[in-house]
Amino acid sequence: MSLKDAWREAFPAQSAARVVEYLLSTWTQVAARKLFYFSWQQAEPKLTLALKEILKDGAHEVGLTGFWGGEDQSVKLDPATLKPLKGFRTDITYHSDLDRLSLTFEWKKLKKPSQSRKAYYGADGMGRFLEENGYAKKEPFKLMVGIIESPAHRSEIQSLMVAMNKDDVLALLHMIPDDKGSHIRAPSRELPGLATFDTQHVRESGGYSTFTFSHLFVEFPE
């Protein structure tokens, strides 16, 4: 097994797929209610905080007995002085009590302006995981979730994929191509039928030399 695939040996992929499937189906059910307080008009942190509570309340019914967290705070410290250098708040997390599964879901709204796409893959999105001692600093795999206004706006996903495949972004994110030379790995290998695509990146942390994202997308109904 190659170094870029070594992380899979200890990763509980089936358990991860169950959690992701539950999260996506829960979003679909809640969004279908067309409630003002769970709609495109709400800010992303309000949506993820509400969704976390709903996920937590219903998890035992589907056999997920781990811990759901939302807006958890962590901090990057200067190792010599312990001075706080930068704070983080993760959107939604899940930690299993059975198989050491740990998932972080970072959520971003996708809109037509290019600045929205930059927020997704830039310093406040994917970059939070890829900077030194950033998010999930000892883990090899996490998830990005793009929020789409409606099915009519799903072209924003393709626009994001095109933007992320440009040379400057590939370099910025230290992206690793697959065996066919593709940096945007579609369809998803890690979460087939759930994620739209995967990306892999150079990152030395936790004994792993790579870091992999699966990219999920959710929407509100028309």
For the chain, what percent of residues have pLDDT higher than 70? 90
Q: What is the pLDDT of residue 82?
A: 44
Q: What is the pLDDT of residue 61?
A: 94
Confidence of residue 84 (pLDDT cuts 50, 70, 90): low
Q: What is the pLDDT of residue 205?
A: 78
pLDDT at 210 over 80: yes
pLDDT at 181 over 80: yes
Compute the average pLDDT of residues 205-213. 88
Q: Give dist(CA 4, CA 11) in Å, integer.
A: 13
Q: What is the pLDDT of residue 3?
A: 66
Structural contact between residues 92 and 68, judged by C-beta atoms closer than 8 angstroms: yes
pLDDT tens-digit map of 48-82 = 989 999 999 999 999 999 999 875 555 554 667 64
Cα 46 to Cα 41, 50, 68, 71, 91, distances in angstroms: 10, 6, 16, 10, 10
Compute the average pLDDT of residues 155-181. 96
DSSP letter (8 states) at residue 52: H
Cα 158 to Cα 111, 112, 117, 166, 197, distances in angstroms: 12, 11, 11, 13, 11
pLDDT tens-digit map of 94-145 = 999 788 899 999 999 999 889 999 999 998 899 988 887 677 778 899 999 9
Count of CA atoms in the C-beta half-sphere (13 A) of 79: 2
Q: What is the pLDDT of residue 207?
A: 84
Average pLDDT of the chain is 89
Closest CA to 157 of 92, 25, 165, 65: 165
pLDDT at 23 over 80: yes
Q: Give dist(CA 114, CA 150) in Å, integer.
A: 18
Q: What is the pLDDT of residue 90?
A: 55
The pair of three-digit structure tokens given for residue 37, joined into one six-digit string: 């307080």
What total of structural domains would you count in the chain?
Answer: 1
Q: What is the pLDDT of residue 185?
A: 97
Domain encompassing residue 108: 3-219
Structural contact between residues 130 and 119, judged by C-beta atoms closer than 8 angstroms: no
What count of residues does the chain have? 222
pLDDT at 15 over 70: yes
Q: What is the pLDDT of residue 73?
A: 54
Torsion of CA 21, 27, 28, 29, to 10 degrees: 110
Q: What is the pLDDT of residue 187?
A: 96
